[in-house]
Amino acid sequence: MKTILVVDDSRVMRQLVTRALRQAGYDDIAVVEASDGLEGIGQVAACQPDLVLSDWNMPQMSGLEFLRALRRQGDARPFGFVTSETSEPMRVTATEAGASFLLGKPFSPEDVQAALDPVLS
């Protein structure tokens, strides 16, 4: 069973991402959660997720800082942003930092599937 770590400071958004994962057909995955990048680092170490889905704009440690911290540790696991901010400069920044994709909010289950299938297959 694969594990996805969902990192967002909003509880409702973590719930919505999880719901969209199920609606997109990812029924056989375990979802673990964290409320910011700092907690996310701990969850990555504890749960070894196959994919990290992270918000960008969070207190304590932003999604970008979280991703960069993982890469500095030599952690190369797939990482995607789920964020309301999807400008082209942010896509470039995300890609350069090592993100696999940047999924915009609001999203549909189809959007989630299109973003995740290439990464999880």
Scanning 25-33, 44-52, 66-74, 106-114 for contacts with another protein by CB under 8 A, the matching segment is: 106-114
Closest CA to 102 of 53, 69, 32, 40: 53
Dig out the tokens for 69 from the structure. 């911290």
Show the CA angle centred on residue 118, arms to residues 65 and 36, nearest 5°: 25
Q: Which of 2, 25, 48, 57 binds another protein (CB under 8 A)?
A: 57
Supply the minimum distance, in Å, between the C-beta of residue 24 and another protein.
13
105 binds another protein (CB under 8 A): yes
DSSP 105: S
Supply the minimum distance, in Å, between the C-beta of residue 37 and another protein.
13
89 binds another protein (CB under 8 A): yes
Question: In terms of CB distance, is 4 or 82 closer to another protein?
Answer: 82
Cis peptide before 118 (omega within 30 of 0): no
Which residues ranging from 34 to 53 are in contact with another protein (CB under 8 A)?
none
Which residues in this chain contact another protein in the complex, by CB under 8 A? 9-13, 15-16, 57-59, 83-87, 89, 104-108
